[in-house]
Amino acid sequence: MTVSDRIAALIRTLVPALYGVAITFLVGRFPAVQDALTWLSHTLGTDASAAIQLTLTALIIAGYYWIARKLGARFPVLEKWLLGSSLVPTYATTTTLVVGKDTGVVSRDQGINE
């Protein structure tokens, strides 16, 4: 993996996470959402608001990333804005093959796109 691949992967991870946290923050400001979280905490019998908010944040980040990837595939111009980079990183994997009892191990790299 090259340096530019690592930077692209980092950007394409952080940008959706930041967008997801911002969306969660904004959605959480609606009184109906606050009431629903309060009701759910009382229904569970414990103050589970932090766990619920973390779960909702993770789901919103995952949903945002999924939607951004789908829109980016259909409209490549949007990908840069939605994910922070239009560069798709390439990840290298190592496949280990045993060639024989006494011949040792042979390795070869294969690239995998995101």
The tens digit of pLDDT for each residue in 7-32 reads 988 998 899 999 999 999 998 889 99
Residue 44 per-residue DSSP state: H
CB 107 within 8 A of CB 95: yes
Q: Residue 92 pLDDT more than 90?
A: no
Supply the mean pLDDT for the chain: 81
Mean pLDDT computed over 57-73: 93
Neighbouring CB atoms inside 10 A of 23's CB total 15
Q: How far apart are CA 47 and CA 37, in angstroms?
A: 10
In sequence order, the β-bridge partners of residue 104 are 100
Of 72 and 51, the structure prediction assigns the larger pLDDT to 72
Residue 61 has pLDDT above 80, yes or no: yes
Residue 53, burial from CB neighbour count under 10 angstroms (0-12, 13-18, 19+): middle
